Amino acid sequence: MARVSCHYCGLPFNVRREESGRDYFCCTGCAMLSRVPIDEKGQFPVNAHLVSALVAGFLFFNELLFWLVAVLLVREGRMALAVRFFWLSGGAAFAVWSSLVFLHLKERAGRAMDLVFMTLGLVVFGLASRRLPPLPLELAVANVVLIAWSFRGLFRKRAGRQ
């Protein structure tokens, strides 16, 4: 195991083998931030890395929105329509998980712990789906944990080097 530092935040971590000239990142958030160019005024152009992260956030927002609409429909006694929105929330939850997997693969920053977290998220999805429609609270909590884990580098500051 070789010890390297994150190219974005400087956090040290272990890799199986170190390749010269390769940038290493501790998480998908650091990988994404390092690939979004920022000028001296703090402006940045929209690029594929940023759009991918925004899509994941948009899907998560819709997961929560569908869940909220379903809860409101249950309160009104419109169960048939509420069940459809619970299903939509479950589908959006799986879409969030899929988009996070895509981001890990696209940014090439995934490590063994990322695989463990994504697998555990899929297990939680399976457990939440024992009852049909799936339980939105469990899916939402699982996605919050996965998003926080995947983008934990967003809360760190850039290291002093360029």
3-state secondary structure 64-119: HHHHHHHHHHHHHCCHHHHHHHHHHHHHHHHHHHHHHHHHHHHHCCCCHHHHHHHH
CA distance 143 to 73: 23
Average pLDDT over residues 32-50: 78
Entry pTM: 0.82
Kindly indicate the confidence band of residue 162, based on its pLDDT and cuts at 50, 70 and 90: very low
Average pLDDT over residues 48-61: 90
* Beta strands at 12-15 and 2-5: parallel, antiparallel or unpaired: antiparallel
Cα within 13 Å of Cα(60), Cβ side: 18
> Per-residue pLDDT for 116 more than 50?
yes
